[in-house]
Amino acid sequence: MSALDNLRDTFRRDQVFDFMRQGTRAVAPGQLDSGSGKNILYLEDITVSFDGFKALNDLTLYIQTGELRCIIGPNGAGKSTMMDVITGKTRPDSGTCFFGQTLDLTAMSETDIAMAGIGRKFQKPTVFPEHTAFENLELAMNGPRGPWHSLFTRLSGEQTNWIEDTLATVGLLEDRHKVAGLLSHGQKQWLEIGMVLMQKPQLLLVDEPIAGMTRQEVERTGELLKSLAGKHSVVVVEHDMEFIRSIASTVTVLHQGSVLAEGTMEQVQNDPKVIEVYLGE
């Protein structure tokens, strides 16, 4: 057994090829390997088609570690499909999708992807409707996920504090014992963002976070997302240009399943191709 392990270790990719080494840090297989200043997500030549319709067409996109990236595009541009591919809900017909240097997302289950550190907020807020806001966050809390563990586990004071801190961050401390199904649409959005935060993800995928929110809530969401960037990498899909301008550093425009333009908001807005797509029709 140990001989076999030794052999495996000797022929590991990063052992054989020097350039794969991450400085002096060895990364065990199955763990996220993202050196600082490098990309955290690599989507290359991804194609997804549904009955001949190409939802994604040779999409190539890189997300840097710690950046806040906004993705815009008209309806049917493939924004949600891209999220589905990253989180394992949809399998691409071709192309590669790597999280860090080593994790091949196309070969992992939704659960494995979530545990590896990708959290997702859906377009339509999906929370656990019969559980309270507190319980929703408790269920999302980073930690062991097995049935036996959850039968015997009890919340520690530290964990309770963490949950309450997050409740405060998303402004639901007052409503923490309210059943999530009874929260307003905006509050559900916040709750779901809170759930994603409790997972302690490296990469947050946030799909239309401000739908159904009041102006004040929108502002707070923007501040929250900005404060998350740096520690986490954040990808935001939104339609609201005003909102994107207020938070974005880099904007990627998707059109018909591939990248149309990329750059700052200024550059993108003045790009003739983008103008044609948005205004030409």
Residues in contact with another protein by CB under 8 A are 87, 89, 110-111, 114-115, 119-120, 122, 126-132, 135, 138-140, 145-148, 150-155, 160, 174-175, 177-178, 195, 199
Shortest spacing between CB 149 and another protein, in angstroms = 8
Q: Tell me which residue has tokens 């989507």.
A: 43
Q: Which is nearer to another protein, 130 or 266 (CB)?
A: 130
Pair 259, 61: CB distance under 8 Å: yes
Q: Which is nearer to another protein, 99 or 243 (CB)?
A: 99
Q: Which is nearer to another protein, 72 or 235 (CB)?
A: 235
Shortest spacing between CB 109 and another protein, in angstroms = 8
Shortest spacing between CB 208 and another protein, in angstroms = 16
Pair 192, 207: CB distance under 8 Å: no
- Report CA Rg, the chain: 20
Pair 57, 256: CB distance under 8 Å: yes
The amino acid that residue 113 corresponds to is I
Alpha helices in 52-175 (DSSP H): 79-87, 110-116, 133-140, 147-152, 157-169
Shortest spacing between CB 273 and another protein, in angstroms = 34
Q: How far apart, in whole angstroms, are the C-alpha atoms of residue 268 and residue 281?
A: 18
Q: Which is nearer to another protein, 93 or 130 (CB)?
A: 130
